[in-house]
Structure 1
Amino acid sequence: MTKLRIGLIGTGPWAEQTQAPALATHPGATLSGVWGRRPEAAAALASAHGVRAYEDVDALIEASDAVAFALPPDVQAPLAARAAAAGRHLLLDKPVATTVAGAREVVAAAEGTGVASVVFCTLRFTAGTAAWIAQQAASGGWMTGRAHWLSSLFGHDSASPYAASPWRREKGALWDVGPHVLSVLLPVLGDVTELTALRGPADTAHLAFRHASGASSTATLGLSAPPEAAGTSIELYGERGRVAMPEWSDAVNSFRTAVDALAESARTGDPHACDVRLGLRITEILAEAEERLGQVRTGAHGG
């Protein structure tokens, strides 16, 4: 079987540390080139992996069977729709977009040409967590779930390169880590049928969901916690008691697994469970939560 030629669009830390290494060393794929909004960064990343840096994004799309994205979500969405319209499969970053209209545009383009798509929600592709999610979804009987995702990304001592990300600064934890949480809760507890939202300190958001299964869940999300308070956990409570999701790591291997999933979907024509349609649904839920958080803020200042 011919290797899938995958072009990389984006040159930031995520592309440099995760996507480019995973693509360049994947046994079933070929990194067909790199394009970025900063030509000098694209040239450096391409040189590091012995591939071509493209000055024209459409030329990279033309030279590829699929396109992987490492861009801010609302830069990603129109380019992804463009690639799908050209018949290229999509390996998208989360969230697909931060507007429902933007995410719908990608879905429409992908459905219009029948291309395969995968949204890289890390927990769905890391071996231990992916198996755990599948097991809990199959077992059922859950009453409630609790997600707690506090990071010190924006803490005063943070040295993370992602702290300089303008879109993360603007959109906060809701949009950065909210997709990870929903990518776990939705397959296990069912679609969200009702939600409420409360703003906490800095970018912290507290969410409560009712799910189609009848279960409920809560999520606390934040990127501005002190390092001593940072931590992540997702727990489920039900007929089998309390179960906690295992810890995870190794984003490079997880991304390779996402490449495998995209290749399989492209080969068979069967949609992957974590495809652009799920990406749209996550955007719809987070957009509603963002609207409710805005209403809370307006109410607080308008009293």
Structure 2
Amino acid sequence: MRTGLLGTGPWARAAHAPALSLHEGLEFAGVWGRRPDAAKELAARYGVRAYDDVEALLREVDAVAVALPPGVQADLAVRAARAGCHLLLDKPLALTVAQGRAVVEAVRESQVASVVFFTARFQPEPQAWIAEQASAGGWFTARAQWLGAVFTSDSPFAASPWRREKGALWDVGPHALSVLLPVLGDVRRVTAAAPGPGDTVHLVLDHTGGASSTLTLSLTAPPAAAGAVVELRGEAGVTLLPDSSEGAVPAFVRAADALLTAVRTGRAHPCDAAFALRVTEILATAQEQLDGRSA
């Protein structure tokens, strides 16, 4: 499956491009970016074509992997789907519900496959844990702390304009929700508490499975305090989300596997654009409440 890469930033260089070049079921066909010089540099590194015109790339590939800010991703995903390209997207799907719905509608109308790269859902240990806890059921409550030090360290993502504007809610919030939703069920009610230091936010969620969960999300944690913890408590006792022994590249290879399977079978993957839209809807509800508090 000929696959093009849209994007040339740190995440494209660290995860997307290496994974596309390693995957035996894909042909890494080319790179397009908003900065032509960066696209030429990245394409040359992998011996593929750099495209100046994104429409030309879309005409010549079967699928695209997108490593761009979510607002840019959503618009290009619609164009790619309408061009008949299968979609390997990143989280969050979009920064507005309307943008996310447009992607889902384009996927449905064009009958293309979509997979959104929620990292933990494609790492072996977390993936197995999520499936086990979903099967066990009987959960009473959960807490998720997803604390990053993006803005308090030398992270390559510290200069990201959309992360600066939207903060942890939109950057690491999707990770937390991607773990909790398949275990506890959809969210019936969202309550956003008063924000904490920096970009820290606190959410309380009421789930359709009967459990409640709390989320603490930040990109401004002290480096020594950074890390992710998800704890479930219920009839089966107490359990913690395990760490993964693998990094982003093997996980992205598995996401590409999932896209190939969805294309071959015609069955939607659990982390498709529709699931990512639901995550966007939950985040947008929380954002509205936070904005109302600051008004």
TM interval, short-chain normalised: over 0.9
Aligned pairs for 1:114-193 (under 5 A) are: 114-155=111-152, 158-193=153-188
TM-score, scaled to structure 1: 0.96
Q: Report the AA paired with residue 294 of structure 2.
A: R
Question: Which of 225, 228, 234 is the aligned partner of 2:224?
Answer: 228
User: Which SS does the other structure have where 1:213 is aligned?
Assistant: coil
Runs of 4 or more consecutive aligned structure 1 residues displaced over 2 Å after TM superposition: none
Distance in 2 separating the partners of 1:17 and 1:213? 37
Alpha-carbon RMSD across the aligned residues, in angstroms, is 0.7
| Alignment-derived partner of residue 214 in structure 2 | 218
Distance in 2 separating the partners of 1:113 and 1:224? 40
Kindly provide the CA deviation profile for residues 73-128 of structure 1, in whole angstroms up to 9, marking residues without a partner as x.
00000100000011110000000101000000000100001100000000000111
| Alignment-derived partner of residue 76 in structure 2 | 79
User: Which SS does the other structure have where 1:194 is aligned?
Assistant: strand
CA contact (8 A) 2:136 2:236 kept: no
**Offset of residue 139 of structure 1:** 1.2
Distance in 2 separating the partners of 1:258 and 1:159? 28
CA contact (8 A) 2:84 2:110 kept: yes
User: Which SS does the other structure have where 1:129 is aligned?
Assistant: helix
How many residue pairs align between the two structures?
293
Deviates more, 1:258-267 or 1:134-143: 134-143
- The gaps in structure 1 that reach 5 residues or longer are 299-303
Are 2:31 and 1:31 equivalent residues in the alignment?
no
**Offset of residue 296 of structure 1:** 1.6
Question: Which of 235, 238, 254 is the aligned partner of 1:239?
Answer: 235
Kindly provide the CA deviation profile for residues 195-225 of structure 1, in whole angstroms up to 9, marking residues without a partner as x.
1002111100000000011110000000001
TM-score, scaled to structure 2: 0.98
User: Which SS does the other structure have where 1:103 is aligned?
Assistant: helix
User: Which SS does the other structure have where 2:157 is aligned?
Assistant: helix
Distance in 1 separating the partners of 2:120 and 2:264? 23
Kindly provide the CA deviation profile for residues 120-161 of structure 1, in whole angstroms up to 9, marking residues without a partner as x.
000000111111111111111111111001111111xx1111
**Offset of residue 228 of structure 1:** 2.1
Q: Report the AA paired with residue 203 of structure 2.
A: L
Are 2:52 and 1:55 equivalent residues in the alignment?
yes
Distance in 1 separating the partners of 2:179 and 2:2? 30
Distance in 2 separating the partners of 1:228 and 1:270? 42
Distance in 1 separating the partners of 2:199 and 2:40? 35
Q: Report the AA paired with residue 107 of structure 1.
A: V
Distance in 2 separating the partners of 1:38 and 1:278? 31
